[in-house]
Structure 1
Amino acid sequence: MKLLHALPPFNFCGIESMDFGQCKAVVLPVPYDSTTSYNPGTRNGPHAIIQASRNMELYDEELGFTPAEMGIFTLEELEPSMKSPEDTIARVEEAVAEILESGKFPVVFGGEHSISLGAVRAVNEHFEDVSVLHLDAHADCRDEYEGTKYSHACVARRFSEICPVVQLGIRSLSAGEADFLKKSGAVKTFFMHELRKEGFEQTIDNAISSLSDRVYISFDIDAMDPSAVPATGTPEPGGFLWNEALQVLRKVCEQKEVIGFDLVELSPIPGMSASDFLAAKLAYKFIGYKFKQSE
């Protein structure tokens, strides 16, 4: 009797043999959505991204090589704390710090956006001269939301208390956030309407030139247009299209030293895997851009 081939292992890209010592990138899944305020389900995001990635072709036709061969190791899911967002953020910080201390590149899958604060704290402690590139539909600059300063709606405000922040693609914010952004010297925001009005490439170049030499990228999947990714907690029309998002990631990797990356806020829709696959492919393309520069 001839048996069917078993499915590839359950890790990012379905890599048959992972060697932590030889890998360059380490994937940290964080299934957490405690402060989600509209459509819940981002806790299922990491699993959906990994599941979709097992069905990707791993050769990158644009780059002409197979990024998975650079070495990608997937850790077990980080167990969130049930006590408070602060506790989960602290756990993420500790886990990312361990990845950095091992000389590896952290790739964090959420989960809601609040988890990114832990990663930013870790890279800022590990490196000097760090800035954050925050791609998002929402400004996430509230000082407090629904009784906590550690909501997903406050994460960029918390970033700005650590290091400079450049926001790209923003198209939704409160009046209070708009006032904060006008007064803040730590957050520079490039709104999506500016990208459309003033020219995409020029605005992207201006945003990247505003960053320091070392950059952490925090990518909320709702930065994408809902026509490309409907599976997110609070979808906003008018977002990035696929090739536009790739252009941003490619240019940042070419011009800056990227020191960490997260992809958050995927909220999978049962029976609709296109968003999951796009998220997986986006993360994989980013890894390719990052390590193409170091070949």
Structure 2
Amino acid sequence: MPASTMSFCGLPTDATAYAQASTIILPIPFDKCSTWLKGADKGPAAIIEASKQLELYDIETDSEVYKKGIFTAKPLHATSSSVLLRRTDAIVSGYLKDNKFVVTLGGDHSVSIGVFKAYAKHYRDLSILYLDAHADSRDSYEGTPYNHACVTARAQEFTKNIVSVGIRSMDSSERDHLDRKKIFFAHDIHDSDKWINNAVRLLTDSVYITIDLDVFDPGIMPSTGTPEPGGLGWYQIMKLLASVSKSKRIVGFDVVELCPSKHKGPDFLAAKLIYTLLSYIHANEPPR
């Protein structure tokens, strides 16, 4: 498998070989379906660059997950949403057949659609934990069903088991067909952690997590294409992810919608999020 010239965490060659790696980092610098601020195509490179500043020892799990092997693939490029869907499905399916854990870096949120398709074929009981400020459930937007405002609508074509967290913006057209039992609105959960157990219980055993960085409050994550006030905090998100990792099998995840700016703090937050979640997952997984 072709490796990127940029390695997540700046890892040495002996920690990044494909054959030995448990985790694949798949950068998808695609930003043809965002609707406001552009720049998500620069997100993967910014995250990988910021990851070089990470401490490789995770305090919370008392682990060094990089020793499991992290391979950074060459960026996946596509000229259109339809091409992206086909290529992403094929490439991720290949990684899953090789028993790899895939972390996808966007790009706008539409990059997740092909990943969902690949995972739904591989895991019949798949559920998706959808962390986002927006419902993203329009059937079509700005002339395409693959807009980043349509991601949960497309996800429902692969699985009905979708739990959304952090939602605080949607159109009235999305209201009537939402399953409110599986949506945790930001205004209902911002001042408590009691909702976490309820959210986790709604998930199946095999969970894919998609994280639009605008789920975070813009006070700590301003570098997104569609920022929304009133987002969740770092520890709220991490408590949720830790809880899922302890009681479910997380089979893959993505982090999308970083629009890098001159200030590098948000880039580092995204890199830290990825490394910490990998630490949670591998600390709780059974031996292969």
TM-score tier after normalising by the smaller chain length: over 0.9
Output the CA distance in 2 between the equivalents of 1:95 and 1:251.
Answer: 30
The answer to whether the Cα contact below 8 Å between 2:193 and 2:236 also exists between their aligned partners in 1 is no
Matches within 5 A, 1:137-156: 137-156=133-152
Tell me the C-alpha RMSD between the 2 structures.
Answer: 1.3
Picking from 177, 195, 209, the partner of 1:217 is 209
Output the CA distance in 2 between the equivalents of 1:87 and 1:34.
Answer: 12
1:99-157, CA deviations, whole angstroms, 9 ceiling, x for partnerless residues?
10110101000000011011111011011201100000000001100000110000011
Matches within 5 A, 1:240-259: 240-259=232-251
Output the CA distance in 2 between the equivalents of 1:289 and 1:43.
Answer: 27
Matches within 5 A, 1:151-170: 151-163=147-159, 164-170=161-167
Q: Does residue 288 in structure 1 map to residue 276 in structure 2?
A: no
2:222: which partner in 1?
230
One-letter amino acid of the counterpart of residue 289, structure 1? Y
Tell me the SS of whatever aligns to 2:183: strand
Tell me the SS of whatever aligns to 1:91: helix
Unaligned stretches of 5+ residues in structure 1:
1-8
2:109: which partner in 1?
113
Output the CA distance in 2 between the equivalents of 1:113 and 1:62.
Answer: 29
Q: Does residue 200 in structure 1 map to residue 196 in structure 2?
A: no
1:41-85, CA deviations, whole angstroms, 9 ceiling, x for partnerless residues?
0000000000000111111111111111111111010112x1x31
Output the CA distance in 2 between the equivalents of 1:162 and 1:91.
Answer: 17
1:4: which partner in 2?
none
1:176: which partner in 2?
173
One-letter amino acid of the counterpart of residue 209, structure 1? R
Output the CA distance in 1 between the equivalents of 2:264 and 2:42.
Answer: 13
Tell me the SS of whatever aligns to 1:180: coil
For normalisation by structure 1, the TM-score amounts to 0.92
The answer to whether the Cα contact below 8 Å between 2:136 and 2:170 also exists between their aligned partners in 1 is yes
One-letter amino acid of the counterpart of residue 193, structure 1? H
Output the CA distance in 2 between the equivalents of 1:108 and 1:166.
Answer: 19
The answer to whether the Cα contact below 8 Å between 1:10 and 1:54 also exists between their aligned partners in 2 is no
2:42: which partner in 1?
44
Q: Percent identity?
A: 42
2:67: which partner in 1?
69
Tell me the SS of whatever aligns to 1:131: strand
1:196-223, CA deviations, whole angstroms, 9 ceiling, x for partnerless residues?
3xx6322111111001111100000000
1:25-44, CA deviations, whole angstroms, 9 ceiling, x for partnerless residues?
10000000001100000000
The answer to whether the Cα contact below 8 Å between 2:217 and 2:231 also exists between their aligned partners in 1 is yes
For residue 10 of structure 1, report the CA deviation from its aligned partner.
2.2
One-letter amino acid of the counterpart of residue 229, structure 2? P
For normalisation by structure 2, the TM-score amounts to 0.94
One-letter amino acid of the counterpart of residue 265, structure 1? E
One-letter amino acid of the counterpart of residue 26, structure 2? L
Unaligned stretches of 5+ residues in structure 2:
none
1:268-288, CA deviations, whole angstroms, 9 ceiling, x for partnerless residues?
01x210000000000010100
